[in-house]
């Protein structure tokens, strides 16, 4: 349904824009029908940049993003609106997604004005109520309030309800639960999974492996803008191949198993912009070739790809 083809994003930084900062580097992956894909990465991995590019909020420096076969950045005028009718996003900070000077339900009014100008008021109200109930909200409790009068969880559900008003096929969920409390977090996760079961595809961007594991069908692991490993979630979690994924799995805090106490590992000064593997500077099993050549993504078993010279 959605395909990224060798997408890169390079920002110009520093004096006169002479410096370059590679946020995303030659990323290719696909999101299929009725599928939750977890995009996993730490800060600086470029995961949010990918989400914003899919939502057409920032253009890629090179590469193409296709939705149902069409390059989304070649869309013009009406076609853009049609794209947003099918692809929507929800962001990390629920409070930042609302203009604080307006009531929170204004995001629905905006959808009505732009997408359903012909619909009658009672009809619209029914539709809105349906969408709010679908995300587990009681309309009278939440309508007509300002963002600061609602909780983070409610605001986040509002945004999902907003997307449901449209005929969406793909939802980009960028760290949408990292600012929620544990007790409400699971409910939002379950909601996403239910939506998937009803036919939606979801790109679930997260830094939290346990959350990714809980709901996703496939996982894509990013490090410094590159895909280091991807495949079915079950495979990756039961048998991580890339040393970075291994390290992530070993350091995620769990409540069923304690950390194995190795030496205390901290980042050392990263090796400067190298030609080789992005993980070279921290990799425990790196060899000389890793500093010279970027490892390509190679399929090691059906649907499981790894970018590592040592493990392929």
Partner 1 sequence: MGAWYELIYFAFRNVKLRIGLTILLFFVLAAIFAPLFARYDPNAYVGPAAHPPSPEHWFGTTTFGQDVYSQFAHGLRLTLIVGLLGGSIGTLIGILIGLISGYRGGLLDEILNMITNIVLILPTLAILIIIAAYLTVRGFLVQSVFIGLTAWPWAARAIRAQTLSLRAREFVDLARMSGRSSMKIVLTEIAPSMMSYLFMVFILQFGGAILNAATLDFIGLGPTQAFSLGLMMNNAVLWAALELGMWWWLIPPGAAITAIVGALYVMNVGLDEVFNPKLREL
Partner 2 sequence: MGLRVENLRVYYRTLRGYVRALEGVTFSVADGEIMGLAGESGCGKTTLGHSLIYLKPPMNYIEGQVFLDGQEVPIWDMKRMNEFRFRRISVIPQYAMNALNPTRKIGQLIADLLAAHGVDFKEILPELKRRLDLVQLSHEVLNMYPIELSGGMRQRAVMVISTLLNPSLLIADEITSALDVSTQKAVCEMIVEFRNRGFVRSTIFITHDISILYQIADTIAVMYAGQMAEKAPTEAILRSPRHPYTRMLIASLPQVGVRYREERLRGIPGAPPRLLDPPPGCRFQGRCPVAFERCVETPPFVEVEPGHFVACWREI
Question: Binding residues for partner 2, per CB under 8 A?
Answer: 42-43, 151, 181-187, 189-190, 193, 207, 209-211, 213-215, 233-234, 237, 247-249, 251-256, 258-259, 261, 264-267
Q: Between residues 78 and 268, which has the closer beta carbon with respect to partner 1?
A: 78
The entry of partner 1, partner 2, none near residue 190 (CB within 5 to 8 angstroms by kind) is partner 2
DSSP-derived 3-state class of residue 236: helix
The verdict on 293 binding partner 1 (CB under 8 A) reads: no
Among 115, 116, 124, 237, interactor with partner 1 by CB under 8 A: 115
The entry of partner 1, partner 2, none near residue 210 (CB within 5 to 8 angstroms by kind) is partner 2
The verdict on 146 binding partner 1 (CB under 8 A) reads: yes
CB 195 within 8 A of CB 187: no
The entry of partner 1, partner 2, none near residue 266 (CB within 5 to 8 angstroms by kind) is partner 2
Which residues make beta-bridge pairs with 298? 306
Among 5, 30, 35, 93, interactor with partner 1 by CB under 8 A: 93
CB 1 within 8 A of CB 32: yes
First to last CA, the chain: 29
Which residues make beta-bridge pairs with 8? 62
In the complex, the smallest distance separating the C-beta of residue 181 from partner 2, rounded to whole angstroms, is 4
DSSP-derived 3-state class of residue 265: coil
User: Which sign, positive or negative, has the C-alpha torsion 127, 132, 133, 134?
Assistant: positive
In the complex, the smallest distance separating the C-beta of residue 300 from partner 1, rounded to whole angstroms, is 37
The verdict on 259 binding partner 1 (CB under 8 A) reads: no
**Cα–Cα distances in angstroms (integers) from residue 191 to residues 93, 185, 304, in the given order:** 18, 10, 27
CA dist 40 and 130 (Å) reads: 32
CA dist 8 and 59 (Å) reads: 10
Which residues sit at the interface with partner 1, rule CB under 8 A?
Answer: 52, 55-57, 80-81, 84-85, 88-89, 91, 93, 96-103, 106-107, 110-111, 114-115, 146, 148, 159
């Amino acid at each position: 349904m959605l395909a990224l083809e060798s997408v890169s994003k390079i920002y110009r930084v520093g004096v006169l824009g002479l410096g370059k900062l590679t946020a995303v580097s030659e990323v290719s992956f696909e999101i299929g029908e009725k599928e939750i894909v977890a995009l996993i990465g730490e800060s600086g991995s470029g995961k949010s940049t990918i989400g914003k590019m899919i939502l057409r909020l920032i253009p890629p420096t090179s590469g193409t993003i296709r939705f149902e076969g069409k390059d989304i950045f070649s869309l013009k005028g009406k076609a853009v609106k049609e794209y947003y009718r099918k692809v929507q996003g929800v962001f990390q900070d629920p409070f930042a997604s609302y203009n604080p000077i307006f009531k929170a339900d204004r995001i629905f009014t905006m959808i009505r004005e732009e997408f359903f100008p012909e619909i009658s008021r009672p009809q619209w109200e029914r539709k809105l109520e349906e969408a709010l109930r679908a995300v587990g909200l009681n309309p009278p409790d939440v309508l007509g309030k300002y963002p600061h009068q609602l909780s983070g969880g409610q605001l986040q559900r509002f945004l999902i309800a907003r997307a449901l008003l449209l005929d969406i096929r793909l939802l980009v969920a960028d760290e949408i639960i990292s600012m929620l409390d544990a007790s409400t977090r699971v409910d939002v996760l379950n909601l996403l999974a239910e939506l998937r079961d009803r036919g939606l595809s979801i790109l679930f961007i997260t830094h939290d492996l346990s959350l990714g594991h809980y709901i996703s069908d496939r996982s894509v692991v990013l490090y410094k803008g590159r895909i280091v490993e991807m495949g079915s979630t079950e495979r990756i979690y039961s048998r991580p191949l890339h040393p970075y994924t291994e390290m992530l799995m070993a350091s995620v805090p769990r409540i069923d198993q304690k950390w194995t106490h190795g030496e205390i590992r901290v980042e050392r000064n990263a090796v400067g912009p190298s030609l080789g593997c992005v993980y070279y500077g921290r990799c425990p099993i790196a060899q000389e070739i890793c500093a010279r050549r970027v490892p390509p993504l190679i399929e090691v078993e059906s649907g499981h790809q790894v970018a590592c010279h040592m493990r392929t």
